[in-house]
Amino acid sequence: MTTDQAFEPAIRVQGIEKSFKDLQVLRGVDFDVRAGSIFALLGSNGAGKTTLVRILSTLLKADAGTATVLGFDVAAQPGDVRESISLTGQFAAVDDVLTGRENLVLVARLRHLKNPGAIADGLLARFSLTEAGNRKASTHSGGMRRRLDIAMSLIGNPPIIFLDEPTAGLDPQARIEVWQTVRQLAGQGTTVLLTTQYLDEAEQLADRIAILHKGTIIQNGTLTELKQLLPPAKVEYVEKQPSLEDVFLALVGDTGETNDGADRTDDADRGGAVPARKEPQ
């Protein structure tokens, strides 16, 4: 690569394609994520968001195209990629029988870090979990669990974090807590790629929003840029700006339909609860 380091994006996705048998999920996906920014991949259920995150985190091979993370090719340099990222899935990977603190200590031990106790205490404080830290995770609220999950994924200070539907299933208060956590991360220089099907989440958090629909990115821009796609509606003397929802529905059509996905419930993401799908190698 001859690209100037300073301008190299933290994540670069070029022409990524992926099919599962006859189902073409990704048909040539392209986007860049600037270092230190929050990038939202917005798409309906079944659009292929998790598939793309799995490709970027080296868990799944693409059929075509290239992707780099911190300049490392996900297919050719998976070890380097894994050291640069953390992945928080849609369902919290927290162990219920352990306390919050024990969960963190466990991960720090697994990563062979020195002073796992001090690392755990630091993260508990950073995520306002100190008080809850000595209680079993099973007693944590949804928002606390998700924050603990994100805290666990930050052990080892990865510069890039993937959050796959970080607030799916959370109540409004817990969502706000997670949003604050994500903003805090980006404020400290971490690059965040999050997927969401919630328009308000993208609107609240993202520096840039890319809409994944029918296997490709149909729009990519800042919230202001996306809103400019539709002219403001004038009602008498009041100017009404289009909401992101107006823009989204105008772009994808108001059925919001995408690659089927009907045959599969969200539980399939959970891994443990249902038999894991096997990828043909």
Ligand X SMILES: Nc1ncnc2c1ncn2[C@@H]1O[C@H](COP(=O)(O)OP(=O)(O)O)[C@@H](O)[C@H]1O
Q: Tell me the window of 45-53, 97-105, 126-134, 220-228 that interacts with Mg ion (CB under 5 A).
A: 45-53
How are beta strands 208-213 and 216-221 bridged, if at all?
antiparallel
Q: Which residue is nearest to Mg ion (CB)?
A: 50
| Identity of the residue, 77 or 220, whose beta carbon is nearer to ligand X in the bound complex | 220
Q: Near ligand X by CB under 6 A, which window of 133-141, 147-155, 243-251, 256-264?
A: 256-264
62-97: b or e for each residue (b if 16 or more CB lie within 10 Å)?
Answer: beebebbbbbbebeebbebbbebbbbbbbbbbbeee
d(CA 73, CA 70): 9
**25 is a contact residue toward ligand X (CB under 6 A):** yes
What part of residues 42-61 is at the interface with ligand X (CB under 6 A)?
43, 45-51
Q: Is 51 in the site for Mg ion (CB under 5 A)?
A: no
Q: Could you say which of Mg ion, ligand X, none residue 226 binds, taking C-beta under 5 to 8 angstroms by partner kind?
A: none
Contact between 162 and 146 under an 8 Å Cβ cutoff? The reply is no
Instruction: Report the relative pairing of strands 160-164 and 191-196 from DSSP bridges.
Output: parallel
**Residue count, binding to ligand X (CB under 6 A):** 16
Environment class of 111 (CB within 10 Å of its CB; exposed 0-12, middle 13-18, buried 19+): exposed
Say whether residue 89 binds ligand X (CB under 6 A). Answer: no
- Shortest spacing between CB 224 and ligand X, in angstroms: 25
In whole angstroms, how close is the CB of 5 to ligand X at the nearest point? 32
Give the Å distances, CA to CA, from 270 to 21, 96, 167: 21, 15, 15
CB of 252 to ligand X, least distance (A): 13
Contact yes or no for 56/162 (Cβ under 8 A)? yes
Residue with Cβ nearer ligand X (84 or 258): 258
Stretch that binds Mg ion, among 49-57, 76-84, 102-110, 245-253 (CB under 5 A): 49-57
Taking the complex as a whole, how short is the minimal distance between the CB of residue 108 and Mg ion, in angstroms?
28
Cβ atoms within 10 Å, residue 267: 11
Query: For ligand X, which residue of 63, 131, 171, 260 counts as binding (CB under 6 A)?
Result: 260
Tokens of residue 23, six digits: 């189902």
Among 50, 57, 167, 181, binds Mg ion (CB under 5 A): 50
By DSSP bridging, strand 72-73 and strand 208-213 are unpaired
Q: Which residues bind ligand X (CB under 6 A)?
A: 20, 23, 25, 43, 45-51, 259-261, 264, 277
